[in-house]
Structure 1
Amino acid sequence: MSVTTATEAAENAVPGVSLYRAIWRWHFFAGLLTIPFLLNLAVTGSLYLFKDEINDTVFAYRYIVEPAGEALSPQKIADIAAAAVPGSVASSYKDPAGLDRSAIVTVSSDAGQTLVFVNPYDGKVLDTVGSTEEFNYVVKRIHSLALFGGLPNKLIEITGGFAMVLVVTGIYLWWPRRQAGGVVTVRGTPSRRVFWRDLHAVTGAFAGILIFFMAMTGMPWSGYWGANVNAWLTSHNLGYPVQLWDAVPKSQKVTEDILPKAGWIVEKAPVPLSEIAAAQSKKPVGLDKAVEIARGLGMAPGFDLAIPGSETGVYTAAVYPDDLTNERTVHIDQYSGKPLVDLSFGQYPFLGRAIEWGINVHQGQEFGLFNQLLMLATCLAIILSCVTGIVMWWKRRPTGRLGVPPMPPQRSVYLGLWIVVLVFAFAFPMSGLAILLMIAFDQVVIRFVPPLKRAFA
């Protein structure tokens, strides 16, 4: 039988205590559900930040070549690549980004798409790898859990929303309340729980803004939120400028269908059609001429060029470099060589440019090595927060129980928090729905099922 003292009763009557306990409980549940996913995001994200460095060291044998005289023509390189994979045709050509870089041709066959790395000087095939088996592509797919299907990918979207909740609630819990330490310093030693609590709180507080930024800028890739925001921006003339497509016939394909990599703003933009009448009277300009046209239009080195797969297809040149001012997509009529749509970064509306900038920073590409190291530090802070959270919980949990923070004494405090959740659910539906289910489970199931109530005590 427990005894409640007058002091405890007075504390329980204080609204601040109820609010603190409610937020602490939310913070705990959000962390408990997302720690495995956050660890995956941080580890794979750290690897992806240095994808170029990995390519230039671990896979240098297929990316780096020794310049030796005049390079072969793009068409010759594409023919060599197609011959390396029997029964295939070239579907895209990546122009070498420098004199010491290989040319990369994507070839398509009944077995799928294959990347063929070709030395542009002597025509030697350096390597072939399935487009879905390339190292950085696999890392990216594990990062989003898209490698394991649609449902796991949705869990990553929910995790992104929960990460923002963890930052906001964590800063509230960290906020100084007359404590002697744990604000900017760490008390105790690793043998004590307070050490891990302070390390967790201080790490989250100082890295919180960056973690929030990482979560927010990762949302455009999410299956539900990202796709719907992209569609909303486009329909309100805040995404890619749709008027550029008014004068050209459009196919059923979108940019991401024909290119190995498409910018977020234009990945759902329709691909124009070449002049259908010209299919009977003119010959295609060919890959060599298309590459020459793209270069003449000022495409930055390293651009990808999609090769038409039908009589009405177009050549699509696109480049997404570290310098966003050079980001550009050009659709070229395969018969006349005329640019049908020419879209550069400067033509994006403000919101479109802001989202692309956020994505570029998220990937460590915007301002050199400093950007990579800043995002790496953020990933390490996420890992440290997860580890310290686990240790802190392990040290405080009662034997045989989860050690969930207590429910707030004043249940009325949940009214205001429900309003906050509803607003959040409107902004991020998948994450908001998960939070609503979490609270319903906490308030309905746990409260009225005795075994669960004891386990979650």
Structure 2
Amino acid sequence: MARAFTSEQGGQTEPGSALTRSSVYRAVWRWHFYAGLLVLPLLIWLAVTGALFVYHQAIDRYVHADLLTVPVPAAAGTEPAPHSAVLAAALAAQPGTWFKYTPPAAAGRSAEVGVRTVDGDKVAVYVDPANAKVLGTLSDRGTLGWTIRKLHSLKYFGPVQRGFIEMAAGWAILLVFTGLYLWWPRGSVAASRGGVVTVRGTPRQRVYWRDLHAVTGVVVGVGLLFLAITGMPWSVLWGAKANEWANGHDFGYPAGVRVQLPMSGQPLADMAHLPWTLQRTQQPGSASLEHQQGHAAHAQTNAEHNPHIWHGEGSVAQSAATSSPARTALDIDTVMVLVQRLQLAPGYTVNPPQGAQGVFTASAYPHDLALQRVVHLDQYTGRPLLDMSYGDYGPLGRWLEWGINIHLGQEWGVFNQLLLLALCVGIVLLCVSGAVMWFKRRPAGGVGVPPLPA
């Protein structure tokens, strides 16, 4: 976005004079140069991996077709295998304990069972839901799409490396604002059109790359600023603190819900892939034996005052609670009946309770923000302890989720994907033109740092 400094853009600072336009320009130019020097390779990395991730679902369906797709039953209305049979087949193929179950999102898709092995590893087992036949295994979140996502955030390499992404986002914001200042036309519009709205010269000339960098920058800069800001919630330091603050001030998690429920102490994100706003919240805890009756009475009292807590009167949950022995967790087939009645968006995931105070959790994280939903079920009664959707988030939570949804290419369908693809190509062009411009401008044997202001 920068344009090389020339004497026509301000000249030299007069001795003893106050701060001049020339010295400000030189200072901004140096900041822009150093910011670009620091993050240019990272911006190219983020743009390339980000463009690939926009199409991660299509990539996975092609690369892992043998695991993710199954034949559609020939006979309409054919009953699939029981959910318990799908889990049993997965555990027979990969011994351990299951921690995640994702029924098929549509006909022709496989079911996925997350299994924690005796060694503590997490494995994804893919099963044909029609006959409970195991199709194969991968490491949990081991598809090519998830690998691209971890490469994009540098999570693949560890927390220290992820800090570089946070640094790149911060410096990218500085790049945009300093670049805008350097691009801003000075003098008459006709005289400053080159490098503002038009590109002069040929690729053999430095002025061509300078103008290409400036014109591309003003178009791409707004998108780059948006991506930098909406990407910050995933960062190591800023993102963690922002999430903690949002949930601690009722901007993300609705006020009054957590304190009205017993808590398990189990972080929700340990078990499910969730919206950013909910990743630091805890799972509610199932009522203990001695408190089940008191909790039921307390829940009845709160029914009219808390729309997030649903009590399932007349449901399978009540009959199961009545007929089952005390403190006996519901089986998966009964739980799935309850979850299906809640009508979560296809592609939802169910997580089992962790310990005696744990809960069954059903979560849906589809492209449509309005359908985001997390439901916690008491493992003994099947009663939903909490039912939360996007509309229940606080204002900051809703804004952040909306920005993240666009960042992921999910908000406006194909248009969102094409927009992000064009933006990523523009970022690469911006970085390449800036590097070429610098290489052509730098003195032989030197770095070519812009001159110090007076």
Give the direction of change, closer, same or farther, for the CA distance of 1:382–1:11 in structure 2 (3 Å limit): farther
1:189 deviation in Å? 0.5
Asked if 2 retains the 8 angstrom alpha-carbon contact of 1:189 and 1:195, the reply is yes
Q: Residue type of the partner of 1:271?
A: Q
- Structure 2 counterpart of 1:431: none
Give the direction of change, closer, same or farther, for the CA distance of 1:118–1:15 in structure 2 (3 Å limit): same
- Residue among 95, 99, 103 paired with 2:107: 99
- Residue among 262, 266, 278 paired with 2:274: 262
1:275 aligns with 2:291: no
Render the CA deviation track for 1:131-169: whole Å, top value 9, x for unaligned: 153322221111111221221111111111111111111
Asked if 2 retains the 8 angstrom alpha-carbon contact of 1:304 and 1:319, the reply is yes
1:185 aligns with 2:194: no
1:373 aligns with 2:414: no
Q: Residue type of the partner of 1:355?
A: L
Q: Residue type of the partner of 2:224?
A: I
3-state secondary structure, aligned to 2:194 = coil
1:19 deviation in Å? 0.7
State the alpha-carbon separation in 1 of the partners of residues 13 and 45 from structure 2.
44
State the alpha-carbon separation in 2 of the partners of residues 127 and 166 from structure 1.
46
- Residue among 342, 357, 362 paired with 1:297: 342
Asked if 2 retains the 8 angstrom alpha-carbon contact of 1:94 and 1:304, the reply is yes
- Structure 1 counterpart of 2:312: none
- Residue among 134, 158, 173 paired with 1:125: 134
Q: Residue type of the partner of 1:310?
A: G
1:40 aligns with 2:49: no
Asked if 1 retains the 8 angstrom alpha-carbon contact of 2:104 and 2:110, the reply is yes
- Give 4+ residue runs of structure 1 displaced > 6 Å after superposition: none
1:89 deviation in Å? 1.4
- Structure 2 counterpart of 1:235: 248
| RMSD, aligned α-carbons | 1.8
- Structure 2 counterpart of 1:361: 406
TM-score of the superposed pair, with normalisation by structure 2: 0.85
- Structure 2 counterpart of 1:140: 149
- Structure 1 counterpart of 2:238: 225
State the alpha-carbon separation in 1 of the partners of residues 13 and 84 from structure 2.
82
Asked if 1 retains the 8 angstrom alpha-carbon contact of 2:60 and 2:143, the reply is no
- Structure 2 counterpart of 1:161: 170
Asked if 2 retains the 8 angstrom alpha-carbon contact of 1:11 and 1:17, the reply is no
State the alpha-carbon separation in 2 of the partners of residues 150 and 407 from structure 1.
36
1:76 aligns with 2:109: no
Render the CA deviation track for 1:262-290: whole Å, top value 9, x for unaligned: 11011111111112216971422211121
State the alpha-carbon separation in 1 of the partners of residues 280 and 327 from structure 2.
30
State the alpha-carbon separation in 2 of the partners of residues 201 and 291 from structure 1.
56
- Structure 1 counterpart of 2:30: 25
1:375 deviation in Å? 1.0
Render the CA deviation track for 1:85-118: whole Å, top value 9, x for unaligned: 13x1111100211111110110001241001111
Asked if 2 retains the 8 angstrom alpha-carbon contact of 1:183 and 1:198, the reply is yes
1:405 deviation in Å? 0.7
State the alpha-carbon separation in 2 of the partners of residues 194 and 174 from structure 1.
14
Q: Residue type of the partner of 1:187?
A: R
State the alpha-carbon separation in 1 of the partners of residues 99 and 141 from structure 2.
15
State the alpha-carbon separation in 2 of the partners of residues 53 and 189 from structure 1.
39
State the alpha-carbon separation in 1 of the partners of residues 429 and 84 from structure 2.
50
State the alpha-carbon separation in 1 of the partners of residues 65 and 442 from structure 2.
49
- Structure 1 counterpart of 2:434: 389
State the alpha-carbon separation in 1 of the partners of residues 367 and 121 from structure 2.
29
State the alpha-carbon separation in 2 of the partners of residues 161 and 275 from structure 1.
45
- Structure 1 counterpart of 2:223: 210
1:64 deviation in Å? 1.6
- Structure 1 counterpart of 2:396: 351
Q: Residue type of the partner of 2:385?
A: L
3-state secondary structure, aligned to 1:148 = coil
Give the direction of change, closer, same or farther, for the CA distance of 1:131–1:155 in structure 2 (3 Å limit): same
Matches within 5 A, 1:412-451: none
Render the CA deviation track for 1:278-303: whole Å, top value 9, x for unaligned: 69714222111212211211211110
1:339 aligns with 2:384: yes
State the alpha-carbon separation in 2 of the partners of residues 180 and 213 from structure 1.
26
TM-score of the superposed pair, with normalisation by structure 1: 0.85
In structure 1, the gaps of 5 or more residues are 410-457
State the alpha-carbon separation in 2 of the partners of residues 352 and 35 from structure 1.
31
Asked if 2 retains the 8 angstrom alpha-carbon contact of 1:98 and 1:301, the reply is yes
Give the direction of change, closer, same or farther, for the CA distance of 1:62–1:26 in structure 2 (3 Å limit): same
- Structure 2 counterpart of 1:404: 449
State the alpha-carbon separation in 2 of the partners of residues 207 and 63 from structure 1.
36
Asked if 1 retains the 8 angstrom alpha-carbon contact of 2:261 and 2:285, the reply is yes
- Structure 2 counterpart of 1:62: 67
Render the CA deviation track for 1:203-256: whole Å, top value 9, x for unaligned: 110111111000100000011111111111122111111421222211221110
Q: Residue type of the partner of 2:186?
A: R
State the alpha-carbon separation in 1 of the partners of residues 169 and 175 from structure 2.
10
State the alpha-carbon separation in 2 of the partners of residues 142 and 226 from structure 1.
18
State the alpha-carbon separation in 2 of the partners of residues 244 and 401 from structure 1.
62
1:331 deviation in Å? 0.6
State the alpha-carbon separation in 2 of the partners of residues 79 and 306 from structure 1.
15
1:9 deviation in Å? 4.3
